[in-house]
Amino acid sequence: MIHGQLPVAALWRARLARFLAVCNASGPGDEPARLREALSLFQHADVPESLHLDRMIDAGAFESAALTLIGGDAGYMLSRGGNGVCLASVCLPAGTEQHTCEAGSPALALLAATATALWHVAADDIAVNLDREAAWLN
């Protein structure tokens, strides 16, 4: 039922927006918590789960854990300026655009860019479902 799917997608977008705000306010010491939150949040988008994610986090391999969460089919670019500002761009297979975010660490920038990309994919899905529902009502 298309109508029943709209609130779920809108709720997920709200959770992604909140997660993005939390990523932007986070620092390098917050990476383990953000990675674990992302694992739960990104699974809604069928982003692959890694059985070794906790091991990566425990070992301090935060960038590897973030790359695992975005999946092997996503395109990404990661940079760190001399002033310590980290930028990441992510283009998901389901999306057509790349999305760039700044954060306090490479892993946080990757998570923020992925959340932004997923937010846009969810927005596109909501628009398609609204169009289908409008056609169904007419």
Who's near 29: CB < 8 A, 6+ residues apart?
Answer: none
Distance between CA 38 and CA 26 in Å, rounded?
Answer: 13
Instruction: Please report how many Cα atoms fall inside a 13 Å half-sphere around the Cα of residue 51, on the Cβ side.
Output: 0
Q: Which residues, other chains included, contact 125 with Cβ-Cβ below 8 Å and sequence gap of 6+?
A: 9
pLDDT digits (tens, 9 = 90+) for 89-138: 999 887 778 999 999 999 999 999 999 998 888 776 554 444 444 444 54
Q: What are phi and psi of 59, to 5 degrees?
A: -85, -5
**Tens-digit pLDDT profile for residues 39-56:** 888 875 555 556 678 889
